[in-house]
């Protein structure tokens, strides 16, 4: 049973993390390519067309894996989390079905149209890409509505026999505050990632001395998005974290590893939590009252510590703590990198700043890592609950043979590795060749 | 919303919609699956491969969403069935999943790299994915019609090997061949030149095999499958479904022979649709029929979501399904020209 639960969780973690490698870039590039197609339609400037084609090619390669790897997640809700599906179907099923109906059909149908329409039918081509962008972004809304319920159940009642949740208010599912905090955070992060990928790719070409209009223009758009999203993420993320800490005190306390209940809680710049002792093994450079301020908005505010919360309802503290730290540190770094980029560009030194361009290139993986860390905080931080306060993860698993899960996990993981390598190879080739950009 | 409908009525409406969605999925995906099944055998070079790829390229993604809708709709309207169906058939579902991934990636990446070796691997990936999807679904649906080995208390006692009964194998092969025929006729209609002619010739033979196999399958269903005729005896009008299936298969043979690709294509879809619906009509009120004893099956009333959930979903479906159908049909009119050997789209 332990092995079954562990393997089922591992398989879901692997496949969900894999899926989300492709989602953020899809969300961001869909909108940007739609803008480029529209600009080309409006003013017939060849640079816009080349931009749309170049980024569109990357979009296509990236989108394909995002599309197919999403199916894996839907399937697993039945194959591996059948008990969860029975418990949650009444509430969780509708957003999933709505996602297919409102979003996937738009994406799937108009993606085909966009790919196969030539620039001689530019109006339709641009329109199709807008529909793809609409589809992908609406899709994120529906799936976050479903996830929002798992984080903060609303608009439901328990069935008389306690066996499942029953929806009582569909609108409440949509207006769930958790959904909107999470949606804004996820979308901003996706746009940030997109802008860093674009800047990194442009940097590669600038380094090669390839300063043509396509990359210059792409960079100048991306750097603005990067700066705007990098600043908005922590500002809005702060409100999000406060909101989460109030609703899920266990996740909240784990994010900064607050062990003991107290007021005027300091935040340590250097801190190593240790859940075996229920304390920090190292804590240095404490800023008095900062944790209280961040959690409650008051420097003297009270935070409930992990040691005072129900011990069987704690998530793995170290994992949440380090993921949260990693996310916030990298998040701060993004602001600096974006500011620097804007400054260098405005002062005309960008194309000769070799070190900065190299930094940009090597920064491409960072937003991916940051986003994964963020998801770990959100989803592992919810543990041991699958649906917060209602269903433990251990009670959601399908009782299938452990060997079946092992087999499927190995098969899917191996298959995914091949796909990932091939995808990176294709994207790299597209970036390096930059066919049609000259 | 829909307060004038009782919960049972909503459950029945959703069962009906569920049957429609599955039927639509099978026919709209059939030609992309068929194209994948046939490409290695009828395309002699990259030019012809690209013709076939371009004939399904604009459509396959949007069409596959009907499968996702079928899964999501099952989850929303009948969570118990969603859970049990996927749990009981764990390994087949994983195979289906791998087929779906392989197929999607292969179509999209087919010619993204110039290396002919890679192109060849992807062509076979497209074939293998299409084969897995149509075979697994064919075998699975035959098992749904026959009944899964569900014992008392909803305990599943079936085995993987047990799923491959002769009936299920006939079903699997029939689904594969109906898809292949659909693909052949689609290629015949949508492309020009050598590849179109070869596909047309192939369809002449395959429509005949489909007709024979469909007759065998339906006869087997009505005479060899326990409980299959119960609903038919109660409501003889249902016999229209298998009749339409056979009529479709006969017309497909007839039109294919006369080289009238488009009517033949539609007739084959008619056959496919009603083979599926004939089976689905037999299992009501069960969604997961039990072959151990009918009473152990999971019926729609037991599996259905709450009145609220079914109503919300019905509202969503009534508004959005027609919209989806309209823009999907529009997409077909966008790309109605035949694909020539000389016009290679950069895909």
Statement: residue B343 has pLDDT above 70: no
| pLDDT single digits (tens) B124-181 | 999 999 999 999 999 999 999 999 999 988 889 988 899 999 999 999 999 999 999 9
What are the φ and ψ backbone dihedral angles of A162, each rounded to 5 degrees? 70, 10
| pLDDT single digits (tens) B108-131 | 999 888 889 999 999 999 999 999
First to last CA, chain B: 45
Statement: residue B244 has pLDDT above 80: yes
What is the longest distance spanned by two Cα atoms in chain A?
A: 70
CB-CB under 8 Å, B62 with A105: yes
Statement: residue B65 has pLDDT above 90: yes
B262 lies in a domain?
yes
Statement: residue A395 has pLDDT above 90: yes
A250 in the same domain as A233: yes
Q: In chain B, pLDDT over 70 holds for what percent of residues?
A: 99
A83 lies in a domain?
yes
Q: d(Cα B149, Cα B164) in Å, to the nearest integer?
A: 13
B327-336, Cβ contacts within 8 angstroms, sequence gap of 24 or more: B327/A105, B327/A109, B327/A110, B328/A105, B328/A109, B328/B62, B328/B63, B331/A109, B331/A110, B331/A112, B331/A113, B331/B58, B331/B59, B331/B62, B332/B59, B334/A113, B334/A116, B334/A117, B334/A124, B334/B58, B335/A113, B335/A116, B335/B58, B335/B59
**Domain boundary residue, one of A286, A303, A320:** A303
Neighbours of A215 (CB within 10 A): 26
Question: Pick from A61, A105, A170: which is nearest to B65 by CB?
Answer: A105
Q: Determine the average pLDDT of the residues in A372-397.
A: 95
Interface of A with B in 9-48 (CB under 8 A): none
A210 lies in a domain?
yes
Which chain B residue's Cα is nearest to A94? B76
Match 């969403």 to its residue by tokens: B65
The helix (H) or strand (E) run that includes residue A190 is: helix A177-207
Q: Determine the average pLDDT of the residues in B192-220.
A: 95
| pLDDT single digits (tens) A207-229 | 998 889 999 999 999 999 999 99
What is the overall mean pLDDT for chain A? 93
A245 in the same domain as A361: yes
Which chain B residue's Cα is nearest to A166? B306
Q: Determine the average pLDDT of the residues in B256-284.
A: 95
Q: d(Cα A94, Cα A89) in Å, to the nearest integer?
A: 8
**Domain boundary residue, one of A274, A303, A332:** A303
pLDDT of residue B341: 80
A380 lies in a domain?
yes
Task: Residue A19: name the closest of A79, A66, A78, A74 by CA.
Answer: A66
Tokens linked to A152? 């903060």
Neighbours of A308 (CB within 10 A): 15
**Domain boundary residue, one of A237, A271, A303:** A303
CB-CB under 8 Å, A94 with B91: no
pLDDT of residue B345: 64
A409 in the same domain as A328: yes
pLDDT of residue A434: 84
Interface pTM, i.e. ipTM: 0.91
Q: d(Cα B159, Cα A400) in Å, to the nearest integer?
A: 12
Statement: residue A137 has pLDDT above 90: yes
A31 lies in a domain?
yes
CB-CB under 8 Å, B101 with A116: no
Which residue range is the domain that position B283 belongs to?
7-334
B115 lies in a domain?
yes
pLDDT of residue A278: 87
**What SS3 class is residue B336?**
coil
**Helix intervals (H) in A44-121:** 46-79, 82-98, 105-116
CB-CB under 8 Å, B59 with A89: no
First to last CA, chain A: 59
Strand partners, A225: none
Question: Pick from B77, B83, B105: which is nearest to A82 by CB?
Answer: B83
Domain total in chain A: 2
Cα dihedral value A429, A431, A436, A437, nearest 10: -160
CB-CB under 8 Å, B109 with A61: yes
Statement: residue B344 has pLDDT above 70: no
B304 lies in a domain?
yes
A438 lies in a domain?
no
B1 lies in a domain?
no
The DSSP secondary structure of B190-257, one letter per residue, reads: HB-SHHHHHHHHHHHHHHHHHHHHHHHHHHHHHHHSTTTTHHHHH-GGGGHHHHHHHHHHHHHHHHHH
Strand partners, A157: A166
Statement: residue B30 has pLDDT above 90: yes
Q: For residue A412, name the pLDDT band (cuts at 50, 70, 90).
A: very high
pLDDT of residue B342: 75
Residues of chain A neighbouring B73 (CB-CB closer than 8 A): 97, 100
A232 in the same domain as A315: yes
Q: d(Cα B100, Cα B60) in Å, to the nearest integer?
A: 11
A290 in the same domain as A234: no
Helix axes B116-146, B7-42, angle to 10 degrees: 140
Q: Determine the average pLDDT of the residues in B202-227.
A: 95
B346 lies in a domain?
no
The helix (H) or strand (E) run that includes residue A166 is: strand A165-167
Strand partners, B286: B299
Q: Determine the average pLDDT of the residues in A116-127.
A: 92
Q: Determine the average pLDDT of the residues in B68-85.
A: 94
Statement: residue B346 has pLDDT above 80: no
pLDDT of residue A147: 96
Statement: residue A332 has pLDDT above 90: yes
Q: Where are the beta strands (DSSP E) in A322-433?
A: 385-387, 391-392
Q: In chain A, pLDDT over 90 holds for what percent of residues?
A: 85
A256 lies in a domain?
yes
Q: For residue A403, name the pLDDT band (cuts at 50, 70, 90).
A: very high
A210 in the same domain as A165: yes
Q: d(Cα B59, Cα B344) in Å, to the nearest integer?
A: 17
Q: d(Cα B319, Cα A17) in Å, to the nearest integer?
A: 34
pLDDT of residue B114: 87
pLDDT of residue B173: 97
pLDDT of residue A108: 92
Q: Could you tell me how many residues make up chain B?
A: 347
CB-CB under 8 Å, A398 with B72: no
Angstrom distances, CA of residue A177 to CA of A244, A401, B107, B293: 10, 39, 40, 48
CB-CB under 8 Å, B334 with A113: yes
Which residue range is the domain that position A331 belongs to?
2-261+304-433
Q: For residue B337, name the pLDDT band (cuts at 50, 70, 90).
A: confident
A348 in the same domain as A266: no
A298 in the same domain as A273: yes
Residues of chain A neighbouring B84 (CB-CB closer than 8 A): 82
Question: Pick from B82, B308, B347: which is nearest to A115 by CB?
Answer: B347
According to DSSP, the β-strands at A385-387 and A391-392 are: antiparallel
Q: Contact, B146 vs B225, CB < 8 A?
A: yes
A359 in the same domain as A290: no
Interface of A with B in 230-249 (CB under 8 A): none
A335 in the same domain as A378: yes
Q: Contact, B19 vs B280, CB < 8 A?
A: yes
Is B298 or B1 the better-scoring residue by pLDDT? Answer: B298
DSSP state of B140: H
DSSP state of B340: P
According to DSSP, the β-strands at A165-167 and A156-158 are: antiparallel
B45 lies in a domain?
yes
A269 in the same domain as A369: no
pTM surpassing 0.80? yes
pLDDT of residue B339: 84
Task: Residue B334: name the closest of B124, B9, B57, B67 by CA.
Answer: B57
pLDDT of residue B31: 95
According to DSSP, the β-strands at A391-392 and A267-274 are: unpaired
CB-CB under 8 Å, B61 with A408: no
Q: Determine the average pLDDT of the residues in A279-286.
A: 88
What are the φ and ψ backbone dihedral angles of A68, each rounded to 5 degrees? -75, -35
B347 lies in a domain?
no
CB-CB under 8 Å, A415 with B105: no
Question: CA triplet B97, B98, B104: central angle to 5 degrees?
Answer: 90
Q: B285: cis peptide before it, omega within 30°?
A: yes
Q: Within an 8 Å CB–CB cutoff, is residue A408 touching chain B?
A: yes
What is the longest distance spanned by two Cα atoms in chain B?
A: 62
Q: A384: cis peptide before it, omega within 30°?
A: yes
What is the overall mean pLDDT for chain B? 93
A134 in the same domain as A44: yes
A to B CB pairs, distance under 8 Å = 212
Domain total in chain B: 1
Residues of chain A neighbouring B77 (CB-CB closer than 8 A): 93, 97
How many angstroms separate the CA of residue B173 from the nearest CA in chain A?
24
Statement: residue B347 has pLDDT above 70: no
Statement: residue A383 has pLDDT above 80: yes
Q: d(Cα A396, Cα A387) in Å, to the nearest integer?
A: 9
């Amino acid at each position: 049973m332990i092995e079954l639960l562990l393997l089922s969780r591992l398989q879901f973690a692997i496949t969900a993390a894999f899926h989300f490698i492709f989602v953020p870039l899809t969300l961001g590039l869909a909108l940007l390519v739609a803008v480029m197609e529209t600009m080309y339609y409006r003013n017939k400037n060849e640079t816009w067309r080349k931009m749309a084609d170049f980024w569109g090619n990357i979009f296509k390669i990236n989108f394909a894996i995002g599309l197919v790897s999403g199916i894996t997640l839907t399937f697993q809700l039945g194959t591996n989390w059948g008990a969860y599906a029975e418990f949650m179907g009444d509430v969780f099923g509708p957003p999933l079905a709505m996602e297919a109906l409102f979003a996937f059909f738009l994406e799937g149908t108009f993606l085909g149209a966009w790919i196969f329409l030539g620039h001689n039918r530019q109006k339709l081509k641009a329109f199709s890409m807008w529909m793809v962008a609409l589809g992908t972004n609406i899709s994120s809304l529906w799936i976050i509505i479903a996830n929002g319920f798992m984080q903060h159940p609303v608009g439901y009642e328990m069935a008389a026999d306690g066996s499942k949740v029953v929806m009582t208010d569909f609108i409440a599912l949509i207006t769930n505050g958790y959904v909107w905090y999470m949606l804004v955070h996820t979308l901003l992060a996706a746009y940030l990632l997109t802008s860093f990928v674009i800047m990194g790719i442009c940097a590669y070409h600038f380094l090669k001395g390839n300063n043509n209009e396509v990359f210059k223009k792409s960079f100048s758009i991306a750097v603005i998005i990067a700066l705007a999203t990098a600043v908005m993420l922590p500002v809005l993320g702060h409100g999000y974290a406060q909101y989460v800490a109030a609703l899920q005190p266990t996740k909240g306390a784990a994010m900064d590893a607050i062990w003991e209940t107290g007021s005027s809680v300091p935040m340590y710049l250097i801190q190593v939590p240790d859940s075996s002792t229920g304390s920090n093994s190292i804590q240095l450079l404490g800023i008095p009252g900062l944790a209280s301020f961040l959690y409650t908005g008051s420097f003297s505010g009270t935070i409930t510590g992990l040691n005072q919360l129900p011990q069987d309802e704690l998530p793995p503290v170290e994992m949440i703590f380090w993921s949260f730290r990693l996310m916030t540190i990298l998040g701060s770094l993004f602001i600096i990198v974006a500011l620097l980029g804007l400054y260098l560009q405005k002062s005309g030194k960008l194309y000769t700043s070799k070190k900065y361009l190299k930094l940009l290139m090597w920064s491409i993986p960072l937003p991916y890592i940051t986003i994964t860390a963020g998801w770990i905080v959100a989803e592992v931080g919810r543990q041991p609950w699958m649906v917060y306060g209602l269903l433990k993860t251990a009670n959601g698993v399908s009782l299938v043979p452990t060997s079946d899960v092992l087999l499927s996990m190995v098969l899917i993981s191996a298959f995914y590795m091949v796909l990932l390598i091939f995808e990176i190879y294709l994207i790299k080739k597209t970036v390096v060749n930059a066919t049609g950009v000259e | 919303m829909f307060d004038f409908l009782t919960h049972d009525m909503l459950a029945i409406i959703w069962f009906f919609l569920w049957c429609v969605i599955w039927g639509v999925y099978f026919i709209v995906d059939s030609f992309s699956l068929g194209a994948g099944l046939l490409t290695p055998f009828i395309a002699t070079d990259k030019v012809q491969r690209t013709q076939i790829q371009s004939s399904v390229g604009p459509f396959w993604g949007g069409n596959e969403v009907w499968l996702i809708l079928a899964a999501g709709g099952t989850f929303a309207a009948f969570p118990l069935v969603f859970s049990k169906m996927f749990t009981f058939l764990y390994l087949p579902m994983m195979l289906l999943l791998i087929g779906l991934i392989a197929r999607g990636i292969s179509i999209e990446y087919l010619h993204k790299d110039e290396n002919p070796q890679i192109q060849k691997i992807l062509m076979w990936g497209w074939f293998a994915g299409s084969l897995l999807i149509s075979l697994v679904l064919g075998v699975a649906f035959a098992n749904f019609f026959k009944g899964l080995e569900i014992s008392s208390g909803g305990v599943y006692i079936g085995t993987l090997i047990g799923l491959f009964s002769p009936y299920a194998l006939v079903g699997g092969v029939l689904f594969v061949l109906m898809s292949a025929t659909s693909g052949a006729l689609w290629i015949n209609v949508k492309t020009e030149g050598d590849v179109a002619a070869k596909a047309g010739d192939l369809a002449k033979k395959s429509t005949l095999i489909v007709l024979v196999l469909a007759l065998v399958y339906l006869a087997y269903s009505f005479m060899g499958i326990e409980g299959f005729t119960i609903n038919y005896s109660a409501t003889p009008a249902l016999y229209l479904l298998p009749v339409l299936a056979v009529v479709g298969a006969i017309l497909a043979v007839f039109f294919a022979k006369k080289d009238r690709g488009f009517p033949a294509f539609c007739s084959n879809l008619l056959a496919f649709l009603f083979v599926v619906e004939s089976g689905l009509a037999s299992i009501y009120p069960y969604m997961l029929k039990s072959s151990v004893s009918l009473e152990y099956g999971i019926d729609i009333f037991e599996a259905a979501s709450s009145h609220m959930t079914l109503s919300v979903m019905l509202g969503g479906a009534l508004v959005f399904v027609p919209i989806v159908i309209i823009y999907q049909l529009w997409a077909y009119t966008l790309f109605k020209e035949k694909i020539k050997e000389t016009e290679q789209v950069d895909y």
